[in-house]
Chain A
Amino acid sequence: MKQEIKAGEIVVFAATLLLAVVFAFPIYFNIMSAFKSNPEIMRDAIAFPKELYVESFKYLLTETKYPEAMLNSAILTVSSIAVMVLVIPMAAYAIERTNARWTNGIFTYFLFGMMIPFQVYMIPLFKQLKLIGLFGTLTGPILIYIAGSVGFGVLLYTSFLKGVPREIEESAEIDGCTRTGIFWKIVFPLLGPVTASMVVLQGLGIWNDFLMPMMVLPTGQAKTMIVELFYYVGEFSSRWDMIFAGTTMSLVPVLIAFLSLQKYFVKGVSSGAIKG
C-alpha cells in the first residue's frame, strides 16, 4: 500500500528545508572558507573554493602554537572526565543508598552549586590558585571542572540509582564483598547510560570552554584551542583563512562524537532539562 503525498506535507517539507539551509549555512561557510585563500574569501564570500587550498592548515600546524593547544585541550578534556567518572558516581551512590540525614544534607549542599554561575566566584578563584601554587598548571583547571560538575553529576546519578534494585548488592554483601568491590564490579557497570550522557555533555563543555582556561593557563605558552583561536582573531585579523582552518579542526572531533554518540547527546539534554 503506497501512501499518497498530500499538499500539506510538501509545504511542511519546504518550510523545514528552508530553515535547514539557514541553520546549516554558517557551518558550511566555515568549512568552505577553510579551503580558500584569504583574498578569495574577501573577494566573494559565498563562492565555492576554486581549488583545495591547504596552506592555512599547514601554516597553523607549523608556524603557530596550535598543535600544543590541541594537546592541552585534549589533556584537559580527557583527564577531567576521567576523574569525574571516578569521583561523582561514588558520591551519588553513597547519598542514594545511605539516605541518612547527613547524606541528604550533603546532597542539598551539592545541588546548591548548580545555582552559582562561574562568574560569581571566578575572581577569588584566581587568587586562590596562585596561593596554592596551581596557577599556570593544567591541574588547576581540571580541579575547577570537576568541582563545577559535582552538582549536576550527582543529581543525574542519584536519580538513575533509584531505579537500580538493591538485592544484588545485598547478596554480594552476604558473600563477603567489600563496599568498594560491590560498587565498582556490580553497580558501576549498570550506570553505563548515565556515564555516557555525562561524559558527552561535560566533555563538550570542557572542549568548548573559553574564559577559565584563558585566565588560569600561563601566558606566553599555548593555552587551549578555543583560547588560541580567540587570540588569533585579534592577532591575525587579515588571516581569516587560517582562523577558519582552526575552527574547522576544533569542530571535527565534535562532529565525530556527535555522529557516533547522537542518542546520548539527546538523552543528556532531556534528562538535564527535566531536572533543571
Chain B
Amino acid sequence: MMANIKKKKWTNYAFWFLLPALLVYTGFVIVPTLSSVYLSFTSWDGISDDIRFIGLDNFIEIAKSPRVHNALKNTMIFAVALVVLENVVALALAVLVDQVRWFRNLFRSIFYFPVLMSGIIMGFIWMIILNYNFGVMNQLLDMTGLGSLKTDWLGDPDYALISIILSTVWKAAGYYMIIYLAGLQGIPQELNEAASIDGANRWQQFRHITFPLLAGATTVCVMLSMIGSLKIFDQIAVMTDGGPGFATETLTYIIYKVGFGELRQGFGTALAIVLFALTLIISLIQIKLLRKREVQM
C-alpha cells in the first residue's frame, strides 16, 4: 500500500518533468518527419493547397532520373573520400600531437579550431584561397615555379568536388583527432617500451600495437565521419551552389534545390526519405558494431 502510493507520486512528477521535452520534440521533429513520409507520395509544389496523391511516382522518378543518380554518385564519392582522408589525417595529427615534445596544447588547439567554424565561413575562406585570378593557391604555385599546375579549382567540374572534399577534411579532421587522442592516451606506455626492447622499430610498434588498440576509436570515427559526410551542405552552398553544372550536387543539396528552388516539394520529400533510409542503415550498423566491440572488451 505504502509502496504503491510512493510509486504513484514518482510517476506523477515524472509525467510533468517529461511533458515539455515530449511536446516540443514530437511537434517539431516527429510530426514533420511523418508528414515527410506522407508528402513523398504526393506531387505537392510547396505553396498551393492542391496536394495530389500520386503513389510511388516520385520514387520511380528517383530510380530513373540521371540527375538523382549523379547526386547519389557524388554523395558516395564524398562519403568514401571523406571517411578515408579525414581518418588518415586525424590519426596522423593525433599521433603527432601525442608524441610532440613542445607546445603540445597549442598544436592541439590549432588543429581543432577549424571544427568550430561555420561551414559558410570556412567555405568562403577557401573559395577565396582557391580563386583562379586572385587566390593564394595559384599565387603559391606561381611563386614555386609550378605555374603550369594552376587551375580554376572551383570552376572546373573535374576539380570542384575534390576541392570541396579537401577543404572539408581541413575543417573536420580536428574533431576525429580528439577522439583518436583520447584512445592513444589510454594505451599503456609499457607495451611500446617492451616491444622496443624486443627490437621493434617505431613503425612496427605503431602497426602492431598502437593501431590495433585504437580499433574502438576507429570504429566510432569511421561511423561518425560517414554520417557527417551525408549531411554536408553549407560549404557546397557557398562555394559552388551544386555546380558547375551538377558537378557538386549531393543528396542533401538536391533536396534543397528541388524543394525550394524548383518548388517540387513532393519530390523533395521523397528524396528526403531516401536520405533517411541511408542514415538509418548506417546508424544501425554502427550500433551493432559498437555492441559487438563491448562484448569483446
Contacts and interface: CB of A to CB of B under 8 A. Distances in A.
A110 B252 contact: no
B119 A210 contact: yes
Contact of B182 (A150, A243, A270): A270
A29 interface: yes
Interface in A108-136: 110, 113-125, 127-128
A15 interface: yes
Interface string A81-99: 0000011101101110110
B297 interface: no
Interface string B272-283: 110110011001
A268 to B, nearest CB: 10
B170 interface: yes
A94 B14 CA distance: 5
B129 A26 contact: yes
Contact of A29 (B27, B100, B118, B125): B125
B21 A91 contact: yes
B100 to A, nearest CB: 5
Given A13-B100, A273-B220, A150 B272 contact: no
Contacts of A41: 128, 134
Contact of B259 (A46, A123, A255): A123
Interface in A6-38: 8-9, 12-13, 15-16, 19-20, 22-24, 26-27, 29-30, 33
Interface residues of B, number: 93
Contacts of A120: 33, 36, 272-273, 275-276, 279
B96 A16 contact: yes
B100 A110 contact: no
A117 to B, nearest CB: 6
A124 B29 CA distance: 10
Contact of A117 (B140, B230, B287): B230
Given A117-B231, A147-B25, A251-B117, A270 B178 contact: yes
A125 B118 contact: no
Contacts of A265: 112, 116
A211 B287 CA distance: 29
A273 B179 contact: yes
B109 interface: yes
Contacts of B140: 46
A250 B122 CA distance: 12
B99 A254 contact: no
A185 interface: no
Contacts of A162: none
B179 A276 contact: no
Contact of A26 (B32, B126, B233): B126
Interface residues of A, number: 89
Nearest to A21: B110
Interface in B215-243: 220-221, 223-224, 230-231, 233-234, 237-238
Nearest to A247: B121
Contacts of A26: 114, 122, 125-126, 129, 170
Contacts of B28: 125, 143-144, 146-148
B224 A250 contact: no
Contacts of B179: 269-270, 273
A66 interface: no
A276 to B, nearest CB: 6
A254 B116 contact: yes
A147 B287 contact: no
Interface of B: 9-11, 13-15, 17-18, 20-22, 24-25, 27-33, 35-36, 39, 46, 92-93, 96-97, 99-102, 107, 109-114, 116-122, 124-129, 133-136, 139-140, 170, 174-175, 178-179, 182, 202, 220-221, 223-224, 230-231, 233-234, 237-238, 252, 255-256, 259-260, 265, 268-269, 272-273, 275-276, 279-280, 283, 286-287, 290
17 contacts: A13-B101, A19-B96, A20-B107, A45-B139, A87-B21, A91-B17, A124-B35, A128-B35, A147-B27, A148-B29, A179-B9, A183-B17, A208-B116, A269-B175, A273-B224, A276-B223, A276-B290
The 3 closest A-B pairs by CB, nearest first: A147-B28, A208-B118, A124-B35
